[in-house]
Structure formats: structure tokens, C-alpha cells
């Protein structure tokens, strides 16, 4: 039996049967709006089903990728020869208990920030405009405007490659700049707990509105992108280095260095993944030539590049 047919049969035998799509265009599932088809696209309905799905996928030996909102991802034009497991809306419950919030890995950071604001909890305003999910934010220790996930996380429930579900404390997560033990040890985030402080409702609202206005005025939110394209080099700002290299508005095909914020590569005109990767490489080379600083992509790549 073909390995894909065997996997599909096993997935169909899982209790509750997860949603399965074949040859699913990844352009529908990334904020870049770019990407060819994934051979198999699976959306589990809960933690138990996620564990069963990943067990079957690992047993198949096929390559796989765990996807959230697709907000920090560039998928190859040829797609992904493997299985995409999406943890998103099916696992997005948000529960507030006093000054603590526990949420599923598929919960959007914006939704968690809104729940915190409603509960008069402060400390998560920085994440209100980050377009990703909680799971991805834990993996990458997402941050913005001086705040990071490590500032609020208390623990995370994760699934190990062996299929064991365990809870990691904040120190055990080993959160660093855009990294964590989750990323290093191929763990899958199922949910996470966060701790905040009581705050003034008006002050929380005003801060969130201020950060939103700053994003709208300084970031190219009107174009598809994957957010900040490059990691911040120590002692520098990627956008400033790119601007100083004369690359504001630089284009390759339909991909472009944003005129509004040079740290963003945008899908300006039906860009392909090849356009984006060529632009990223040329920007990195030219910044290195002009400043001696080598920019590294913050965006993750999936598929054949």
C-alpha cells in the first residue's frame, strides 16, 4: 500500500476523524499569501486528536510541519512534499482565572490580549498586534515593543516526539531571542499558561490603541508579509541597515522591501516564493557589503528552496 494511502487510512480511523485535505495550497494558510500545495493538510480537533495524528504521521516516516496562523512562514512555490498539521481555531480556547490565563496553542495572540483587557489584566499589550498564535509565539519567544513571551509565560503543555504530553515550567522552556527548547527538541505546543497583574482598564486600552496606531503608521499592514523578515543583529536594527544600504523599495519580481519599513519584505504584486528568497539573499549580501553585518532571516522556510 502507498505510504500516503496508509497514512490517510490511519487518520480516518482516529476517533472523531480530523479534517484532512489533499494538495492544499499553502498560499491560503500563510500571511505572505504565497506557497504551493501540501500533499496532506490535517487539522486536529483537540489535544488528544493532535497526539494521535502526530503519532500516525511520525509512524509514516513522512516529513511533517506543525502550522499555526502561518504568520512567520515562507512556503516554496513547489509546496511541501509531506504533511502539514495545523493547530489553529480548533484549539483556541482562552480561560481566565484571576490573574492567570490558560489558552490553547491555536489561540491568536490578539484574542488573548483582548481577553486580558476585558479581565483588566496588564502585561500582554505588546502582543495585541502580533498576528500569530500562542503556540508559534512560545516556539519563537515572540516579542514586540519591549515585551516578550518569556515575560508572561509560566508554563506550556507540550507533546514530545515520543508521544508523551508533559508540562514545562518557564525555566524549562529555555526561552531566548526567537528560540526555545520547543524549537530545539522538536516539541509541539498544545497550550500554555500566563500570569499577569491587575491594571487600570483605561490605561490598558490606551496602550493597546497607541501600539496599534504605531503599527499602522510604521508597518506595511496593507500588504501580505511575514512580519519582520530579519532577526535583529546585536547592536543594530535590521531595517536601518537595509535603508543605509540604499535598499528601501528594492524589488525582485513581485517581492519588495517595504517603503514604509525596510525591515519588512512584502508581497507587493503576486510575488512568488522564489522572488522573496532571492530578494532576502540579495538584501543580506548587500547589507554585508555596506556594513559588515550579516542579516539572518527570522522567517521560517518550508519546502524546497
Q: Annotated catalytic, 228?
A: yes
Residues 6+ apart with CB under 8 A from 240: 262
Annotated active-site residue in 27, 60, 191, 228:
228
pLDDT of residue 127: 95
Annotated active-site residue in 178, 191, 225, 284:
178
Q: Cα dihedral sign for 199, 170, 101, 177?
A: positive
pLDDT of residue 289: 97
Write out the E strands in the chain: 19-25, 37-43, 64-67, 73-75, 80-86, 94-97, 100-104, 121-122, 143-144, 147-148, 153-159, 165-169, 188-195, 197-198, 225-228, 251-252, 255-257, 264-267, 300-302
Enclosing domain of residue 267: 221-302
Tell me if 22 sits within 8 A of 80, measured CB to CB.
no
Per-residue pLDDT of the chain in tens (305 residues, 90 and over written 9): 599 999 999 999 999 999 999 999 999 999 999 999 999 999 999 999 999 999 999 999 999 999 999 999 999 999 999 999 999 999 999 999 999 999 999 999 999 999 999 999 999 999 999 999 999 999 999 999 999 999 999 999 999 999 999 999 999 999 998 889 998 999 999 999 999 999 999 999 999 999 999 999 999 999 999 999 999 999 999 999 999 999 999 999 999 999 999 999 999 999 999 999 999 999 999 999 999 999 999 999 999 99
Tell me if 61 sits within 8 A of 80, measured CB to CB.
no
Whether residues 24 and 45 share a domain: the answer is yes
Annotated active-site residue in 24, 52, 148, 298:
298
In whole angstroms, give the CA distance from residue 165 to residue 190: 9
Q: How many CB atoms lie within 10 A of CB 111?
A: 16
Q: Annotated catalytic, 52?
A: no
Q: What is the CATH number of the domain that holds 265?
A: 3.90.78.10
Report the predicted TM-score, pTM, of the whole model to 2 decimal places: 0.93
Whether residues 82 and 176 share a domain: the answer is no
The cell numbers describing 233, all together, are 543583529
Q: What is the CATH number of the domain that holds 103?
A: 3.30.465.10
Amino acid at each position: 500500500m502507498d505510504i500516503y494511502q496508509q497514512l490517510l487510512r490511519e487518520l480516518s480511523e482516529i476517533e472523531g476523524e480530523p479534517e484532512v485535505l489533499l494538495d492544499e495550497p499553502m498560499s491560503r494558510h500563510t500571511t505572505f499569501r504565497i506557497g504551493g500545495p501540501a500533499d496532506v493538510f490535517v487539522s486536529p480537533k483537540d489535544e488528544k486528536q493532535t497526539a494521535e495524528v502526530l503519532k500516525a504521521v511520525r509512524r509514516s516516516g513522512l516529513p511533517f510541519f506543525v502550522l499555526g496562523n502561518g504568520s512567520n512562514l515562507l512556503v516554496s512555490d513547489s509546496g511541501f512534499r509531506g504533511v502539514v498539521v495545523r493547530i489553529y481555531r480548533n484549539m483556541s480556547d482562552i480561560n481566565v482565572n484571576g490573574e492567570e490565563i490558560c489558552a490553547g496553542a491555536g489561540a491568536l495572540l490578539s484574542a488573548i490580549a483582548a481577553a486580558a483587557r476585558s479581565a483588566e489584566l496588564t502585561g500582554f499589550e505588546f502582543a495585541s498586534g502580533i498576528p500569530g498564535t500562542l503556540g508559534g509565539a512560545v516556539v519563537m519567544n515572540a516579542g514586540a515593543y519591549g515585551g516578550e513571551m518569556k515575560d508572561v509565560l509560566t508554563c506550556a503543555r507540550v507533546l514530545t516526539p515520543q508521544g508523551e504530553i508533559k508540562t514545562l515550567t518557564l525555566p524549562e522552556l529555555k526561552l531566548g531571542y526567537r528560540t526555545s527548547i520547543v524549537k530545539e527538541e522538536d516539541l509541539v505546543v498544545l497550550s500554555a499558561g500566563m500570569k499577569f497583574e491587575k491594571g487600570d482598564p483605561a490605561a490598558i486600552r490606551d496602550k493597546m490603541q497607541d501600539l496599534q496606531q504605531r503599527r499602522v503608521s510604521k508597518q506595511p499592514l496593507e500588504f501580505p508579509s511575514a512580519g519582520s523578515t530579519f532577526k535583529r543583529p546585536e547592536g543594530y536594527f535590521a531595517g536601518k541597515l537595509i535603508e543605509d544600504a540604499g535598499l528601501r523599495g528594492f524589488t525582485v519580481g513581485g517581492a519588495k522591501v517595504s517603503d514604509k519599513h525596510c525591515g519588512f519584505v512584502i508581497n507587493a504584486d503576486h510575488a512568488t516564493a522564489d522572488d522573496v528568497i532571492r530578494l532576502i539573499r540579495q538584501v543580506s549580501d548587500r547589507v554585508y557589503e555596506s556594513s559588515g553585518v550579516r542579516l539572518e532571516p527570522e522567517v521560517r522556510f518550508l519546502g524546497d528552496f
